[in-house]
Amino acid sequence: MNSREIFLKNLADLTEKQCGITLSEEKISLYLNSIFQISPKLSKLNYYEYLRLLEHSNPSEEPEWKNVLTALKISETYFFRDKSQLDFIQSSLLNQISNRNPSPKDISLWSAGCSTGEETYTLAFLARMQWKDLETRIRILGSDLNENSIQIAQKAEYSSWSLRALRELERNLYFLGNSDPYEVRKEYRMIVDFRLENLLKISYLEEFDIILCRNVFIYLNKETKSTILERFANALKPGGFLVLGHSEAGEVIPESLKENHSSSFLYYTKKVKTSSALSQINIKIPTISRKDKVIITSSGVLLQEAIHLANQGNLTKAKEYCLNIIKENESNFEAIHLLGYIFEAEGDYLSAEFQYTKAIKMNKDFLENYISLSSLYTVLGRDMESEELKSKCKEILLERTDLQAIYTKKGLDLKRLQNYLESKKEIWVS
């Protein structure tokens, strides 16, 4: 090989090693003139010196890496690109997140490999549409290895070509201006943060509800894909979603991610770590009403049978009984609470949370709801919400001292309950 061929091979190897991007020597050769035009150093240094500079520098910090990546023209994007995927994110994934917690304190989405920011702002548009309540803190992160792309994204000004998939009504909703450049409106810029990051170096831990990473893995080898996907899995909240480009990286998905199918593509859900204590239901906590009496209804016998079936492991039949009870009496919070237990035992945590929350709204003195939901939140890694429920449970016990005698009479160990309410990251085992 001549010196130019050796240089191309080494530059391809370095781009893969330092950036995790696999490019053929042919592609680098195709853009070599562009690198010469953009880079003042390549014309001053010999091939060996130039490669040595890249080898001993951080791609996120060294300006010369910026020149290389800019010259290689790795990506092209526009607002609402691949609308079918975005429609699914909006209609299904964001709705699932909302159903878990109708009034979340914070929502975090990440556009990984965001290029010049069109995809990141698109997520901001969708998230703000989903959560119009300004009390919900929405955070959209956009990250990319190309500093020039990040600077363009931070400026938030785009040509009509980037807006080509938008109707006029949408353009006016999201942007200021009537001609190039169009500026993203402030209410969307405020919830977006851009960072210069190498996906091989990230170390987020259970921070994101959704990670969107499209048309990045086509440049990566199998080992690099595997490393990044493990980091994505760590960065997702339990139950969070990973959306990739079509047919990307399917063969190296970590075990902690569950594969799901939409009508036209795959997406992944981070599995929730379960406790062995949740492997079976054991409902022994007594039930009380606001008037401190055990609830007796026409469905009382049916409810006891449902509890018995659940404790025997016959969840399907127990669920059927609960649904029949609720059909007869929609305000039967005991049956709704039991239904939450059953969903939790089946691993359907979204439905379990919904039932527990519904039962709390129906009877705010029913301690079992707070205990069950706080335990579930602990399992899901939502510790702050778990602690809030424990605090509420303690408040009720302090305000209603008569409840202590009632629960003791019904067989509840109050000291054990107090220990649970004071504990951190513990679950309640009946």
**Which DSSP letter does residue 277 get?**
G
Amino acid making up residue 290: R
Residue that is last in its domain, among 270, 296, 314: 270
State whether 266 and 280 are in the same domain: no
Q: What is the pLDDT of residue 286?
A: 36
For tokens 């989903």, name the residue.
130
DSSP string, 324-356: HHHHH-TT-HHHHHHHHHHHHHHT-HHHHHHHH
With a CB cutoff of 8 Å and minimum separation 6, the contacts of 176 are: 182, 183, 184, 185
* Tokens linked to 428: 């309640």
Burial status of residue 261 (CB atoms within 10 A of its CB: 0-12, 13-18, 19 or more): exposed
Domain-embedded: residue 205: yes
* Tokens linked to 165: 């998939």
Domain-embedded: residue 77: no
State whether 403 and 382 are in the same domain: yes
Residue that is last in its domain, among 51, 72, 93: 72
Task: State the CATH number of the domain containing residue 17.
Answer: 1.10.155
Task: State the CATH number of the domain containing residue 329.
Answer: 1.25.40.10
Helix (H, G, I), strand (E, B) or coil at 238: strand
Q: What is the pLDDT of residue 44?
A: 82
Domain-embedded: residue 401: yes
Domain-embedded: residue 427: no
Task: State the CATH number of the domain containing residue 149.
Answer: 3.40.50.150
**Count of domains forming the chain:** 3
Q: What is the pLDDT of residue 142?
A: 96
State whether 105 and 169 are in the same domain: yes
Residues in a beta bridge with 242? 211, 268
Q: What is the pLDDT of residue 26?
A: 63
For tokens 């795959």, name the residue.
266
* Tokens linked to 181: 């450049």
Helix (H, G, I), strand (E, B) or coil at 282: coil
Alpha helices in 40-167 (DSSP H): 47-55, 63-72, 83-88, 94-100, 118-130, 147-155
Domain-embedded: residue 185: yes
pTM over 0.75: no
State whether 123 and 40 are in the same domain: no
- What does the pLDDT look like over 230-243, one tens digit per residue? 999 999 988 899 99
State whether 112 and 67 are in the same domain: no
Domain-embedded: residue 430: no
* Cβ count within 10 A of residue 207: 16
Helix (H, G, I), strand (E, B) or coil at 169: helix
**Which DSSP letter does residue 56 get?**
T
- What does the pLDDT look like over 145-184, one tens digit per residue? 888 889 999 999 998 988 989 999 999 999 999 998 999 9
Closest residue by Cα to residue 345 from 319, 323, 324, 382 = 319
* Tokens linked to 163: 């807006």
State whether 297 and 378 are in the same domain: yes
State whether 98 and 12 are in the same domain: no
Instruction: Report strand pairing: 137-144 vs 106-112.
Output: parallel
Domain assignment of residue 243, given as a range: 83-270
Domain-embedded: residue 248: yes
- Give CB contacts under 8 A, 24+ apart, made by 357-361: 357/102, 358/333, 359/333, 359/334
Is the Cα dihedral 17, 18, 21, 25 positive or negative? negative
State whether 289 and 209 are in the same domain: no
Closest residue by Cα to residue 17 from 67, 64, 50, 65 = 65
* Ramachandran assignment for 185, one of left (phi > 0), alpha (psi -120 to 50 degrees), beta (any other): beta
State whether 33 and 62 are in the same domain: yes
State whether 108 and 178 are in the same domain: yes
State whether 281 and 415 are in the same domain: yes
Closest residue by Cα to residue 310 from 274, 334, 332, 275 = 334
What does the alpha-carbon distance between residue 400 and residue 239 come to, in Å, rounded to a whole number? 36
Domain-embedded: residue 394: yes
Mark the ranges of the chain whose per-residue pLDDT is less than 50. Answer: 274-299, 429
| Maximum distance among all Cα pairs of the chain, rounded to whole angstroms | 91
Residue that is last in its domain, among 270, 287, 312: 270
What does the alpha-carbon distance between residue 103 and residue 84 come to, in Å, rounded to a whole number? 27
State whether 229 and 314 are in the same domain: no
